[in-house]
Amino acid sequence: MKKTNIQQKVQKFGRSLSGMIMPNIGAFIAWGLLTALFIPTGWCPNEYLGKLVDPMLKYLLPILIGYTAGKNIAGDRGGVTGAIATMGVVIGSSIPMFIGAMMMGPLGGWCIKKFDKWTEGKVKDGFEMLINNFSIGIIGLLLAIFGYMFVGDIVIWLTKTLSKLTVVLIDHHLLPLVALVVEPAKVMFLNNAINHGIFSPIGIEQANELGKSVMFLFETNPGPGLGVLLACWAFGKGATRQSAPGAIIIQSLGGIHEIYFPYILARPGLLLGAIAGSAAALGFYQLTDAGLVAPASPGNFITLPVMAPKGQTLIILGGILIAAAVSFLVSIPFMRGKEKSVEEDLHIDESRAGFINLIMFACDAGMGSSALGATRFRKRTSLAGLEVKVRNCAVDQVPDVTDLIVCQRGLAERVKDSNPDKEVVIIDNFLSDPALDRLLERLIRMEAEGSGEIAGQAGNDEEMAGNDGEMVGKDREMVGKEEEKGGKEEGLLRLENIRTGLAPESKEEAIRRAGKILHESGYVDAEYIDAMIARENLTTTYMGMGLAIPHGTSEAKAAVKKSGIVVLQYPEGVDFEGEKAHLIIGIAGVGDAHLEILAKVSEALEDEEVLERLSQNATAEEIYQTLNK
């Protein structure tokens, strides 16, 4: 259990870092192209256009990171505060302040969030705008001064510490161990600081004396990053796999190493691949007494061989390829592990070629709406005596063996981009959509035609299928999950977490109410509440038939401490984009523990009288008994 908690914290930290960078990848690419093309050692040197490089590196990118980090914590107000705070470290240091931005941005978002919570309900009417604007200005200014006076010095101290450690390793002829310092430092966006601030000055001095220096190869080798990106392309899923080819071009030809850092931040285990690749290359260069005559900038397949001494071009290229190969091989387990186990668990019957064997209901997190939709549709297929498997997952984790994907309209483009070879059925809600009725009719027709049965037989045997098929279907589809759960989890739904007779309020207020109860009950961290709003903004969690199931985004799973559910009853309803939700069920799920309650909800929806009672006048005790019986 302790190991799991540590792993979750590491993953949470990695996701938070990635969340600061990934939205700004376009800006990194713009800067990277400018660098590769127009700096003095670039493809098309241009002094005039090259003037754009440094301002983008020193100002634009750190401020964007600070804004995004603050916004991830406290919305637009957090973003503005984070940007102001970041400006302090940008001005207070002569080196690019990526790491400073990743410190000040979240700090700005956290401070404004705490201020807003402290003033909630205390601001008099008419003074809201005044307080909102001045609070950002004052808090942002104080943080900017703090960053200007202190944080920049901390980053500079960190840089000097890395310099001393690297020099010790070099003096003791332990070049491969340099990778233990260089690769983690690069991922923390200290690559330019350690390369131009440490390795290049020392390397120039060595080159003047010896004619070459291996120092120029420490940070600039594109091989470690290339291997990581190749593994993401070959074995990744969703956006990771789709974006990897473009990143490979930028990395290997453009020499823009920053392009692969977010991939490692999203999957921290990939750092081991980069370290292993770098160490292998440095070991090879040490054995061959390799080096460059001058700094290679940017570090790519073109500039490194160009800067090689006469007779060592192939050696330099060999070190790049060795780094890429080792990095690729070590990275594979960190890309394949989870996906392989998912597909093995599906047990697709190869004899059913030509049938639709696996249907995936997909939503952003694969936790709430898709789970309930899959549960309900699975029951319908079982009643019809169909052998099709119905599961749910996150949109970026659709297994390759999936035949058909069901998703809401707001996620359709994302699903199609990630799964271009899959059939996609687009619906407006997971419970009562005509597209699901047509899909069921199609499945029944396919089974009948494929087995030689007449189409009317399914209707004649419907009653028997309802009695026997349900048990068979549940045994066939759910046995793996029941064994995995190993029994019912206590405290999943508590009586005190059911609120009835609530007065109408806005959708956001209702979702925040559910999230607050989840947090106060110990199911989630506080940041999960904002993640529930972010998930709703992505696409509605309204399920149909008066039911909404708000939950966090896929990135917010790290904020879930344990599975929990809360139920809010609004007799007059809450507006969800023109639809009225009378039952709002807030969900935080670890694994599949919460699916049992969703199955109970699905059963309740089969009886209109039960659904009406739960939505209008049932007491908390009655709702609790209905969903826990």
Count other Cβ atoms within 10 Å, centred on residue 249. 12
Instruction: State the DSSP string of 107-124.
Output: HHHHHHHHHHHHHTTTSP
Half-sphere CA count of 22, side-chain side, radius 13 A: 18
Per-residue buried b or exposed e for 299-334, using 16+ beta carbons within 10 Å of the residue's own CB: bbbbbbbebbeeebeebbebbbebbbbbbbebbeeb
What end-to-end distance do the CA atoms of the chain give, in Å? 29
In the numeric block, the tokens 């998930």 are attached to 535
Please answer whether residues 305 and 317 qualify as being in contact, where contact means their C-beta atoms are separated by less than 8 angstroms: yes
Q: What is the CA 264 to chain-centroid distance, rounded?
A: 12
Extract the tokens encoding 622: 């009655």
Distance, in Å, from the CA atom of 427 to the CA atom of 409, rounded to the nearest integer, reads 6
SS3 490: coil
Please answer whether residues 499 and 623 qualify as being in contact, where contact means their C-beta atoms are separated by less than 8 angstroms: no
Extract the tokens encoding 551: 């939950």
Instruction: State the DSSP string of 576-613.
Output: ETTEEEEEEEEEE-STTTTHHHHHHHHHHHH-HHHHHH
β-strand pairing of 547-548 with 542-544: antiparallel
Please answer whether residues 502 and 508 qualify as being in contact, where contact means their C-beta atoms are separated by less than 8 angstroms: no
Instruction: Select from 480, 474, 238, 525 the least CA-distant residue to 366.
Output: 238
Distance, in Å, from the CA atom of 172 to the CA atom of 166, rounded to the nearest integer, reads 10
CB-based contacts of 537, cutoff 8 Å, min separation 6: none
In the numeric block, the tokens 């003791």 are attached to 172
Instruction: Select from 436, 8, 411, 464 the least CA-distant residue to 238.
Output: 411
Extract the tokens encoding 104: 């000040």
Name the strand (E) or helix (H) holding 406. Answer: strand 404-408
Extract the tokens encoding 196: 């131009």
Distance, in Å, from the CA atom of 101 to the CA atom of 59, rounded to the nearest integer, reads 10
Distance, in Å, from the CA atom of 423 to the CA atom of 297, rounded to the nearest integer, reads 45
Extract the tokens encoding 448: 């009948």
Candidate list 363, 519, 582, 594, residue with the active-site label: 363
407 is catalytic: no
Extract the tokens encoding 571: 């007799």
Looking at residue 515, the DSSP 8-state letter turns out to be: H
Candidate list 519, 551, 582, 594, residue with the active-site label: 551
Extract the tokens encoding 485: 């759960």
Q: Would you call the peptide bond into 224 cis, given omega within 30 degrees of 0 as the criterion?
A: no
551 is catalytic: yes
Distance, in Å, from the CA atom of 114 to the CA atom of 111, rounded to the nearest integer, reads 5
Which are the catalytic amino acids? 363, 551
